Structure 1
Amino acid sequence: MLSQRRLGTAVLALGLVVLTDVLRVFLPSVITIFGQAASTPAELLGAFALGWFVLALAAPPLVARVGADLVGVAAVLVLGVARLALTAAPGGQTQLWLASAGLLAGLVWLAATAVRIAHPVPGLVLGLTASALSHALFGTYDLVWWGRWPAWVVSVAVVAALLAAEMAFGRGRRAARRADDDAPPARRAWLLVGPVLSLGGMVALSPAVAIAASSYWYGEAGTGTTPLFALAPLAVAVPLFLLGVLSPPHPRWRAVPPVLVVAGALLFGYGPPRLLTVSILGVAAGLGGCLGLVGAGPSPGRATRTGTGSAYAAVGGMLVFAVAAMVYYAAYDIGYPNEWVPAVVAVLTGLVAMRGASDGIRAPQTGSGPGLPRWRITVLAVVVALAATGLHGPWLTATNRDRPPEQVRLVAYNIRMGFGLDGRFDLDALHRAVDRADVVVLSEVDRGWLLNGGHDTLGLLAARLGMPYVFAPAADPLWGDAVLSRWPVQRARTRTLPAVGAPTGAQALGVTVDFGAGVRLAVVSTHLQPPPGADPVVQARVVADFATGYADGVPLVVAGDFNTEPGDPAFTAFTGAGLVDALAAARPLPTSPADDPREQIDHVFVSSDLGAADAVAVPGTASDHLPVAVTLTLPDR
């Protein structure tokens, strides 16, 4: 029976890895494909996404009628086929519906698994840890987007292992003719699957968030080079998470994990970016402790023939995941405070854990604890995390040349978090669009949003270009603007822009590129966010004032997505400040939408001592915008 229990743990762990892979495609597909480049109302987007989770509430009755083993095998087949098909999918509607089908199958499988596994904490812990560490080993670049044979080999191996484990688990159950240990399903533990996935993916167990947190160690904005050992926060967070699960606190200290997870979530929502690392560690330790409290307590309730209560708990927990994700990220389209969302999920997690701990005090233990080889698992996780930390790179260093250049090629690009018009995360296309640039100004840069699959888009692109970056947050610590340069940068400064009714935050980032021999160039990256139907003139004036003051006589470039057309008030705010339209000779130069550009909203402004030539909007569909490129001639020295 012990081997059967371990087999159930393996099924749950492998299934969570595959389900997480599908979620990393489903969530951005809702935005980029169903959303049609922000033309679909946020309310409709949320209804579409939540609908699949609500539909999964039909799974428990199906399991009760048909049987958990049969439903589990069928759901795993659909989940596995959808996961593999996504690697081959061309994007677009095919990708959206494959991801949706895979998600629904994964939720049905989760409901069937909840009926059959009374002790889910070990499988949940191993699945979350394996997903986080594998994402770290691949540099936050999902295998589903690779499209090369190594990705196929690994993906097929994982799906095949899941299917084999699922079938073996079903055969073992039929042979034993009883559920695991004859224990009633641990409904509270199953209820935590969704909240733990939410907080883990959003904060504690995200490699991309860890990398972003490391960049803030270097100042107000991450500057200079890709931080050495950028994954160090994850290398600490994973062991804290595991130790919290494997060594639940004494009943006298059972309130500590809920307090830690709530405090870390509050710090993530309301704290400064420099404390993002502290938030990661607090949430990781707290989540682990909460799972340890639930896993160490007795399985509540009476055993039932169908166990549909645990199935409803698992699907209900995933519904919490979906609601939290939609409510948090919809704030950037609709406009309302969202900092409280992670904290509410953390409070829910803590309450469930405390209730489980209280039951453990009042009732005798039933042997439903974590049941994992404590130190072997922890040591293995530490080794893998350190390996991922050591492999992260390459270490990016700026170019130091003997003589300053006479000309510099600058590209400004709104990259839409790295997703093209087909809804695929296409690093190759992004790389091609900016490959010849010396300085790159990026808008809509994502450093680990769960909604976009948890990628570090900036780090991945910077590694391909071999260019160090400077990042500045605009909405929360993980979304904003960036500057990449082949030469060293200095004096990174940021300025928060007034919201003026716009839902998404905005900022201006100033850096100084040092070419050597006293030759410098001030570069300001921004992305103006006007309120619906209005011109961003207020923000434009703030950026113009900030940029001219920051440059202080040094040649200046202000570039980005300005969401305004030539001649509009926001546009003239820059020309009125003495800046020159560097793209004037190429007008009209529409840049949006990328497949049929009609709007001129991406611009480059320069000080009068800079020459500008060869302006062009580079064709491509790697984003919903076209990049604009221009060659700048530096003043005579």
Structure 2
Amino acid sequence: MTPPRSRFAATLAVAAGVWVLGDLVRAWAPSLITIFGQAASTPPELMGAYALGCVAAGALAAFLGRRRATGAARVALAVTLGCRVALQVTDGGQAQLVAASLGVAAGIAWLSLTATSAGDVLVVGVAAGTALGVVTHAALGTWGAVWRNDAWGWTLLAVQVAAVVAAWWLVRDHRSSADRPSAVARRTAWLLMPGLLLAGIVFANAGRASAVAGTAGLVVVAVASVASVGTAALRPRRATAWAAAAALVASAALALLVAVDVEGVPAVSPPFALIAYAAGLPALTHLWAASDHGRPARATTAAFGGLVWVALLFVYYAGYDLGYRADVVVVLAAAVLAVVAATGVPRDSVPTRTRTSATAGAPAVLLAGVGVGAGVAAAVTAWLGPSLTVTALDASASPAASEEQVRVTAYNLRMGYGMDGTFRPDLVAETLLASDVALLSEVDRGWYLNGGQDELAVLERLLDRESVFAPAADPVWGDAVLTALPIEESVGTPLPSHGAVTGAQALSVRALAAGAPTWFVSTHLQPNDGTEGVGPQTEDLAAMLRGRLSDGIPLVLGGDLNTRPGSDAHAMLLDLGLIDALDALGTAGVTSPADRPTARIDHLLVTPGLAVSSPRVGESQASDHLPVSVTLTPNG
């Protein structure tokens, strides 16, 4: 039998590799749409083909290294780790895309080869690596380490490097005994990468959990990730496997399909959706363990599962461009995975693999104590970490307007990614620091394709301000109002799509500005024909605004309206009695694209009772739009 130290070392090696691979995916996926492509302007099938090529390269490398799987896996992991280090020192652009792409390909090759050489500890190791990624991401307040050039980012990278090196050193004694095959079951290898996709989109997504319940959500998903290591090590029975299958599908449906009105804003994930984040990942890892029975995996099996992973990734997110229910795709994928995994447990049989896992032979009381201790540590880390690792900026360095004035900024954030393809919420926060109110578009609160960050929560901590979020495309993508002013009321108004594939809404927040109630409306109109095409949606927005204006309270409308001054849609808003607060800028007021602006499609419109001064278009490259700002003074 393999010595316990060797089993532990092999588990550590798998865990460290999965942790590193997770960070690489966190940079690779958004690099596809911001560097290789240009979001909606690049066909999804083209980006999908590139992504499939990266995974196919990993499969080819695994096939070529199959005869010396252990040694080839170490080489692949070294390349993976080297790419992770390279990402920490790159400054975006093509270097970032190349490092992330090569790292993902190498990581896929490593995981495939490891599935044939360390299958006895693979499931527990993958669960442990996922838990490390979740807990550290939660502790960073979802501002991923791969995007941070501070002490926290470098410290975590050093820990990753140390973990991989230590595992290499210790695992040299790891051998599989004659009575235990070294390869994981083929069924399990097929399900690894699709399962990691489900984890990334929902169950291990700290960003989505944060959007549901703030810091409490971070704590829940962190503790659940630790619990998932235990469920991966449990001995599966048919009953427990089918119970886990039911829990997985129910959790996916609850997290993705259930939405309610919360404090005046519709289509929000309810707080009780935290049940999904508590149950989903433990159910998934138990299903991996349950599937580990049958024919052993080949060197390319997990890589072929990687092709399913990347195909599902783009099928899911293409739904936002093509107009079908993307969330239903994930629930169906969870159902397929659950059934395939649960049917892998023979009747009245316990898979051999679980008898000889990394924890085999340890007293149950000791394991329970370690598990409880790890869970408590994860909870404390997730609870205290965000406030320690995301420090508020010094507001005195950029003072806001006086008590008689209000500085307002409208900014399309592009999910936090700048023209160089990096996630830099600190640069966004610096841009917004001098504003009392920020009307934000394209706010991302946990899309896996964008790295799984709760961008709004990060900005709240950096600016020490309050926000209201309103979903548009789904419960974690939409618009927001971020402000230092006292908020009195918020109302979300869904806008009909009129053929546009991405959803839209108008968020109205009433706050005390210069001592008087003022409506601040944040929206992002969606074109339905590739050019402006926002006329019908502007009519719906105008109908809502008439109701707001009828109460006589001053109003500020801001956001990416996808219309130019002088257009019919722009005139429709001016006909309401609103004033274009940026009109004085003339041709200097162009905002898009940020690196070579040619059009003003970002706007601030105000009621006549607000005097306009200091209109400005910012220069920040932290998005593909430029921010627009104005100072407002109530008349009389």
Fold equivalence (TM over 0.5): yes
State the AA in 2 paired with 1:328. Answer: Y
- Please tell me whether residue 30 in structure 1 is matched to residue 9 in structure 2: no
Amino acid of the structure 2 residue aligned with 1:429 = L
Task: Report the equivalent of 1:130.
Answer: 132
CA contact (8 A) 2:612 2:630 kept: yes
| Aligned residues of 1:231 and 1:392 also touching (Cα < 8 A) | no
> For 1:265, what is the secondary structure of its paired residue?
helix
Task: Give the aligned partner of residue 336 of structure 1.
Answer: 324
SS of 2:326 mapped into structure 1: coil
TM alignment of 1:174-573, pairs within 5 A:
176=175, 181-214=180-213, 229=216, 231-235=218-222, 237-238=224-225, 241-242=228-229, 244-247=231-234, 251-272=238-259, 273-282=267-276, 284-295=278-289, 299-301=293-295, 309-357=297-345, 359=346, 361-362=348-349, 365=352, 367-368=354-355, 371-372=358-359, 373-393=367-387, 405-515=403-513, 519-531=516-528, 532-551=530-549, 552-573=551-572
Residue pair 2:509, 2:521 contacting (<8 A) in 1 also? yes
Structure 1 position 110 matched with structure 2 position 111: yes
Contact 2:138 2:206 in 1 (8 A): yes
RMSD over aligned Cα atoms: 2.5
- The separation in 2 between residues aligned to 1:499 and 1:492, in whole angstroms, is 22
| Other structure's SS at 2:474 match | coil
Indicate the residue corresponding to 1:49 in structure 2.
51
Cα distance between partner residues in 1 of 2:66 and 2:599: 55
Q: Deviations over 1:572-616 (max 9, x none)?
A: 121112211111111221000111110110001111111111111
Q: Do the aligned residues in 2 keep the contact of 1:298 with 1:363 (CA within 8 Å)?
A: no
Whole-angstrom CA distance in 2 between matches of 1:239 and 1:278 = 20
Alignment size in residue pairs? 607
Q: Is the 8 A contact 1:262 1:283 kept in 2?
A: no
Q: Once structures 1 and 2 are overlaid, which stretch shifts more, 375-384 or 119-128?
A: 375-384
Shift of 1:344: 2.1
Contact 1:76-1:163 within 8 A present in 2 as well: no
- Residue 75 of structure 2 corresponds to residue 74 of structure 1: yes
Q: 1:188 to 1:179 in 2, by over 3 A?
A: farther
Distance, in Å, in 2 between the alignment partners of 1:32 and 1:465 is 26
Distance 1:554 1:324, change over 3 A: same
Offset at residue 362 of structure 1 (A): 4.6
Bigger mean CA offset, 155-164 vs 577-586: 155-164
Where 1:623 maps in the other structure, the secondary structure is: coil
Write out per-residue CA displacement over residues 11-66 of structure 1, whole angstroms, 9 at most, x where no aligned residue. 1100000000000000000010011354322221111112211232223421224x
Identity %: 37
Pick which of 287-296 and 529-538 moved more.
287-296
Per-residue CA deviation, residues 133-154 of structure 1 (Å, 9 max, x unaligned), is 0101111112222213443243
Cα pair distance change 1:294/1:151, threshold 3 Å: closer
Structure 1, 382-391 or 432-441: larger mean CA deviation: 382-391
Alpha-carbon distance change, 328 to 177 in structure 1, aligned in 2, over 3 angstroms: closer
User: 2:580 corresponds to which letter in structure 1?
Assistant: D
Structure 1 stretch displaced more, 543-552 or 124-133: 543-552
Q: Does the aligned pair in 2 maintain the 1:241–1:289 contact within 8 Å?
A: yes
Partner of 1:90: 91
Q: Is the 8 A contact 1:5 1:180 kept in 2?
A: no
1:246 Cα shift?
4.7
Report the residue type matching 2:305 in the other structure.
G
Structure 2 gaps, min length 5: 260-266, 360-366, 396-400
Residue 276 of structure 1 and its aligned partner are, at CA, apart by 4.9
Shift of 1:155: 0.7
Q: How far apart are 1:249 and its partner, in Å?
A: 6.6
CA distance in 2, matches of 1:366, 1:495: 53
More displaced, 104-113 or 146-155?
Answer: 146-155
Do 2:29 and 2:449's aligned partners in 1 also have CA atoms closer than 8 Å?
yes
Is the 1:446–1:457 contact (alpha carbons within 8 Å) kept by the matching residues of 2?
yes
Partner of 2:596: 596
SS in 2 for 1:87: helix
Output the CA distance in 2 between the equivalents of 1:345 and 1:297: 16
CA apart distance, 1:277 = 4.7
Q: What is the rounded CA distance, in whole Å, between the counterparts of 1:375 and 1:277 in structure 2?
A: 30
Which SS does the other structure have where 1:496 is aligned?
strand
Contact 1:13 1:125 in 2 (8 A): yes
Q: Aligned partner of 2:442: which letter? A: E
Paired residue type of 2:251? G
Deviation string 1:524-569 (CA, Å, 9 cap, x unpaired) is: 0000011123420111121122133135211000100001101112
Verify the 8 A CA contact 1:26 1:99 in the aligned structure 2.
yes
Partner AA of 1:129 in structure 2: A
Q: Which moved more, 1:158-167 or 1:342-351?
A: 158-167
Change over 3 Å in CA distance of 1:234–1:64 after alignment to 2: closer
Output the CA distance in 1 between the equivalents of 2:80 and 2:490.
46
Q: Contact 1:235 / 1:382 at 8 angstroms: preserved in 2?
A: no
Q: Tell me how far 1:516 sits from its aligned partner.
A: 7.5
Q: 1:83-120: per-residue Cα shift (whole Å, max 9, x none)?
A: 01111102101110111011111111111111111231
**Structure 1 equivalent of residue 159 of structure 2:** 157
Tell me by how many angstroms 1:283 deviates: 5.7
Classify 1:460/1:298 alpha carbon distance in 2 versus 1 (closer, same or farther; 3 Å): closer
Query: How far off its partner does 1:279 sit?
Result: 4.2
- Aligned mates of 2:305, 2:416 — CA distance in 1: 30
TM-score (norm. length: structure 2): 0.90
Equivalences for 1:599-618 in 2 at 5 Å? 599-618=599-618
Q: Partners in 1 of 2:376 and 2:508 — Cα distance? A: 38
What TM-score does the superposition give when structure 1 sets the normalisation length?
Answer: 0.89
One-letter amino acid of the structure 1 residue matched with residue 311 of structure 2: V
In the TM superposition, residue 178 of structure 1 has moved relative to its aligned partner by 5.8
**Aligned to 1:578, what secondary structure does the other structure show?**
coil
Q: How far is the alpha carbon of 1:446 from its aligned partner?
A: 0.5
